[in-house]
Amino acid sequence: MLADSIVPEYVSRGDSGKAAEYIDAITAVDDPDLSARIAALRGIVEAMHGNDPTRFLERAFAIASASAPGTLAVVHHRAGVAYFNARQRHEAEKHALQALWLSDADGQRRLAARAASVLYGVHYHLTGDMQSARYYAEVVAVEAAAAGELTIRRLFLCAQLDLAVFFGEWDRARSLLDLLRRDRWYDSYSGSQVAQFGMTMLHGYSGDFSAMKGAADALLESANSNADYALGYALSALALAGAGIDEEAGRAARRAIGLSRDQGVSELAYHSLRRRFAAVIGAYVCVLIGDVHRGTRALETRAKSSGNIGAFARALFASIRGDQVDVADPTLRNVRGMVELLGSIKRLRLDRVQRIPERVRTLTHTELTLLRATATGKTNGEIARERGVTRNAVERRLMSAYEKLGVKNRTEAIAKLAEI
């Protein structure tokens, strides 16, 4: 019984190694109900390792057919989890629906909530049907509340916040965030991967880039995979770009793009979605801060994708070309909020640029970078060594910058930039 309670906990954390360790320690089980449950857990672990879980699941159902009705519901639920991790969406949906029906008929509200959570995951991560994902997120919250499972309920209130941001329903997102803040356990869940994405984007839409950066940092602190790190760095880059801190934004965006290329053989479905979103956001930030070649190349790659990721990338690519993006376009329904947010940051940056005198706007990205370096007190020699160029190259760039600013030396240049 210990394995039957501990292994699902490791599965929910994505720790397939620990889950497999506990299952492998089991030698024999005389109880048919427990044997069926354990066999289904083996199927989940196999799927998490990138293998087909069918062999173990067939064995679980063969045993469960002679077991108690409640066991059959549990096995269907675990089959749904296994096929979800194996990205076999039709099988995952079929078993999760069966588990939901059986558990509802048997009054197992806790299991009903967990079965509905699988259906939420199937639609959110595998089919891209965010409307259905929202429906099941609401079902989970209701069933969990009825079962007294406050942890699951809060988690799926966070999921609803996440989806409200995707749909651009900013008022609903704020209401959900306020609801979570009024919850006395809110601080325990504010660090969850589900909650942080929605909160980060909501701060960005409000124009509070300092809070957005703080939420992105919290996302990085709780990251446990390259995909989580990629998304954290992408959102951090977006916050920095919104605040006009371009050099740091560029570093974070490049790191996000690099991490987003790391696709593991047995990558979990929710990691895949985060990784691909990170690539699109990181690429867009590169374009915003002037690294146009890198950004457009990465965006073009994602624009060829299908589903929500492709629609998102194509909308941003059109925005870069100067085309008007219609957020009411049905193809953008599931990512409207994302497109609106990134578009608003672009407009904010353009407005800021328009207020900058013409002579400063002619400064190149490299010239601005060098001027910022001099403002920290670094000598030309130190800057040259850091950038891997000659001292003469640094001096020529700085002289060009002085001429554009209408100043004679670095002291006057720093003062001019500070004044602006």
The Cα 380–Cα 394 span in angstroms is 6
Which residues, 6 or more positions from 142, have their beta carbon under 8 angstroms from its beta carbon?
none
Q: Domain 358-419: which topology?
A: Arc Repressor Mutant, subunit A (1.10.10)
Provide DSSP, 35-74.
HHHHHHHHHHHHHHTTS--HHHHHHHHHHHTTS-HHHHHH
pLDDT on residue 3: 56
pLDDT on residue 133: 94
For helices 54-64 and 32-48, the axis angle rounded to 10 degrees is 160
The Cα 198–Cα 214 span in angstroms is 13
Closest Cα partner for 77 from 48, 46, 49, 36?
Answer: 36
Question: Looking up tokens 């069966």, which residue turns up?
Answer: 98
DSSP annotation of 324 reads: P
pLDDT on residue 65: 79
CA neighbours closer than 13 Å in the CB half-sphere of residue 107: 0
Q: Can you give the pLDDT of all 420 residues of the chain as single tens digits?
A: 555 566 666 566 666 666 666 666 665 567 778 888 888 888 888 888 888 999 989 989 998 877 777 889 999 999 999 999 899 999 999 999 999 999 987 788 999 999 999 999 999 988 989 999 999 999 999 999 999 988 888 889 989 998 999 999 999 999 998 888 777 655 554 446 667 788 889 899 888 888 899 889 888 888 878 888 999 999 999 999 988 888 889 999 999 999 988 776 567 777 888 899 999 999 999 999 888 888 898 888 888 888 889 999 999 988 888 888 888 888 899 999 999 999 888 888 777 666 656 666 677 768 888 888 888 888 888 888 888 888 888 888 889 888 888 888 888 887 877 765
- Residue 375, both tokens: 């403002």
- Among left, alpha and beta (phi > 0; psi -120 to 50; other), residue 207 is left
Q: What is the CA radius of gyration of the chain?
A: 25
pLDDT on residue 191: 46
Q: Long-range contacts made by residues 145-151, C-beta under 8 angstroms, separation at least 24?
A: 146/109, 147/109, 147/110, 147/112, 147/113, 149/109, 149/110, 149/113, 150/185
**What class, spelled out in words, does domain 1-148 have in CATH?**
mainly alpha
Domain boundaries, the chain: 1-148, 209-354, 358-419
